Amino acid sequence: APSGSAPVAAAAPHTPERKPTEKKNKLLCDTPPNRLYDSKDKERYKRSHQLGVGGFARCFLVQNKDGEYYASKTVSKKSLAKEKIRMKFLGELNVHKAMDHPNIVKFIECFEDGANIYVILELCSNKSLMDMVKKRGRLTEPEARFFMIQILGAVKYMHSKRVIHRDLKLGNIFLDADMNVKIGDFGLAAMLLKDTDRKKTICGTPNYIAPEVLFGSEEGHGFEVDLWSVGVILYAMLVGKPPFQSKDLDSIYKKIKRATYEWPPNLEVSDSAKDLVRSLLNRDPAARPSLDEIANHAFFKEGLFPRSLPSEARKVMPKRA
């Protein structure tokens, strides 16, 4: 290319709404209009800035007629042209719609215009646990206790509805304005018809994925895959990175297969926290503790247990605790 060619950013001065970095993925929707109308031409929401981008959705801050704020997960209809992707998206909507729990992102409604589908969700203004851990480096044990109990409540509820999330990770655990946990992104969730049903599809994020999903097993996998991920989440909160983190995918897989991980030697982590993580990161799914057993573990019975956390905890380590 000629060295004198204009930079991309300078080439698009007429589209101030969209910075060039906002949309790298062709499947992502264009920035929607400032006012969102449904297909019957009824005005529904005012659109504000982008909150985040995912695999095939952009998420915007929106405001309804009463001035209440929500998040609008926006998916372009073009990106749903492939049957497989459309089915995945509809599956996500159906599972999410059926969820009603204080620690799960509330599904409000869904509508469309000519270009996009808008999924209106409860707003989680304090971003995700991923962002918090990145900013803070790691969390304290009292904070981990506070988040874990809420995560366990949400997972227990999901499992009682026969839903396996299958993609539990720090980035899918959002925080509302009061720093309460809201689990979101049901893109990989599976609804089982019977408790004894097993799934055979490989999915999940490598770092958080259970060995029986990665390497397959005769019986397929079940609810226990979420317990493995909960173990990875607890470790990641306390250490600042997931236990099987590695340079390349291959070595991550190897470590998961053997369930080998280490605690950084210079880090102070309680024996009870280590014991809980060890019990969850068991290669044998049947040997992992039940959700009630986890909630009754010594980790939750010793040390401080905050009733609430301030929003500042997203950025700075609390003085006490």
User: Hey, which residues are catalytic here?
Assistant: 167
The reply on whether position 62 binds ligand ADP by CB under 6 A is: no
The reply on whether position 188 binds ligand ADP by CB under 6 A is: no
**Residue 254 neighbours by CB under 8 Å, 6+ apart:** none
Q: Are 145 and 300 in contact (CB under 8 A)?
A: yes
Q: Using alpha carbons only, what angle is made at residue 88 by residues 119 and 58, rounded to the nearest 5 degrees?
A: 40
The reply on whether position 91 binds ligand ADP by CB under 6 A is: no
Q: Are 72 and 120 in contact (CB under 8 A)?
A: yes
State in angstroms the smallest separation of the CB of 31 from ligand ADP: 14
SS3 127: coil
Among residue numbers 120 through 139, which ones bind ligand ADP (CB under 6 A)? 121-124
State in angstroms the smallest separation of the CB of 54 from ligand ADP: 2
The reply on whether position 54 binds ligand ADP by CB under 6 A is: yes
**Residue 86 neighbours by CB under 8 Å, 6+ apart:** 80
Pairing of strands 69-76, 116-121: antiparallel
Gap between the Cα atoms of 130 and 208, Å rounded: 13
- Of 29-37, 45-53, 207-215, 226-234, the window that binds ligand ADP (rule: CB under 6 A) is 45-53
DSSP class of residue 260 equals -
Q: Among residues 51, 93, 191, 203, which is the contact residue for ligand ADP, using CB under 6 A?
A: 51
Which single residue is written with the structure tokens 């215009």?
Answer: 113
State in angstroms the smallest separation of the CB of 130 from ligand ADP: 8
Gap between the Cα atoms of 281 and 43, Å rounded: 49
The reply on whether position 102 binds ligand ADP by CB under 6 A is: no
- Of 1-9, 134-142, 181-189, 291-299, the window that binds ligand ADP (rule: CB under 6 A) is 181-189
One character per residue 267-306, x = contact with ligand ADP (rule: CB under 6 A): ----------------------------------------
State in angstroms the smallest separation of the CB of 291 from ligand ADP: 24
- Of 49-57, 138-146, 157-165, 298-306, the window that binds ligand ADP (rule: CB under 6 A) is 49-57
Instruction: Locate 245 and state its tokens.
Output: 């983190």
SS3 218: coil
By the criterion CB under 6 A, which residues form the site for ligand ADP? 51-57, 59, 71, 73, 105, 121-124, 174, 184-185, 187
